Amino acid sequence: MTFNNKVIWITGASSGIGRAVAMELSKQNCKLILSSRREQALLEVKQECTDPKSVEVLTLDLSDYKNMPNIVDNAISIFGRVDVLINNGGISQRSAIIDTSIEVDKKLMEIDYLGTIALSKALLPHFITNKGGQYVVVSSLMGKFSSPLRSAYCGAKHALHGFFDALRLEHDKDNIKVTMICPGFVNTNVARNALIGDGSTQGYQDTMTENGLEVHKFAKKMIKAIQKEKFEAYIGKFERFGVYVKRLSPRLIHKLVLRSKVR
């Protein structure tokens, strides 16, 4: 797949992975729609892109999932179509299950899962009419195997795999592609912004995240996976091999994660 003349919509584009992917894609001959809640931050990303005239901003709150049909109509009206939707927006969590309010679980599901699938479902008729399209979903390695202190996050990411695997099967006949991107540790503010048990933010970086892949290196690997229309891509350092270990032995990945002291 080539990005030439494609219209690519990126959620969570104001920082982190979304911003880095926008910067890399702006070097291609494509048009970008950048979305997140923070309009001013999106406008700053737009100006940093290689060709700001080919980039437009559309604010979006994933928790407002009932409004997604209107958001999709607005997105389509910008350039007349959408060819690729990169579902990158979301939040993380860092707290023990016993200390985590059910409201935190609810918020993670509303934003990371329901917001993402509501947006994707609202765009689906457009892809069917156009006889093709590509969903790119930024999940996590935690969507393939779990880790302590991330129960709500793991639950939401696992749910995304179940939904989009079904979508891929149902709409193979419509030439609609699904690429699940599973990052390992990437050096962004995801840990600082993660929710803790009472719903407040953690507010500090953790060692594993800080030592993760540099975000622009990650973005380049992610873009290659999108171009190849991969079903799933596991992008990280040593931690990406956990996917294969779990396939071999769920008990072994359990032991390895405990020994790694991931926090």
In a domain, 2, yes or no: no
Task: Look at residue 132 and tell me if it is in a domain.
Answer: yes
The CATH number linked to 13 is 3.40.50.720
Do residues 104 and 27 lie in contact, with contact meaning Cβ atoms separated by under 8 Å?
no
Q: For the chain, what is the domain count?
A: 1
pLDDT in tens, 215-239: 999 999 999 999 999 999 999 999 9
Please report whether residue 220 resides in a domain: yes
What is the per-residue pLDDT across 26-51, written as a single tens digit (0 to 9) for each? 999 999 999 999 999 999 999 999 99
Q: What is the DSSP annotation of 164-225?
A: HHHHHHHTGGGTEEEEEEEE--BSSSTTTT-B-TTSSB--S--HHHHTSB-HHHHHHHHHHH
Q: Which strands make up the sheet holding 31-35, listed edge to edge? A: 55-57, 31-35, 7-11, 84-87, 133-138, 176-183, 232-235
Residue range 119-133, pLDDT digits in tens: 999 999 999 999 999
**Is the pTM here over 0.75, yes or no?**
yes
Among the listed residues 65, 113, 135, 153, the single catalytic one is 153
- Number of residues assigned to the chain: 263
Other residues' Cβ atoms within 10 Å of the Cβ of residue 18: 27
Over the stretch 149-198, which tens digit does the pLDDT of each residue have?
Answer: 999 999 999 999 999 999 999 999 999 999 999 999 999 999 999 999 99
Q: What is the pLDDT of residue 262?
A: 58
86: in domain: yes
Q: What's the DSSP call for residue 62? A: T
Residue 1 lies in a domain: no
Residue 154 included in any domain: yes
* 244 is known as an active-site residue: no
What range does the domain containing 30 cover? 7-260
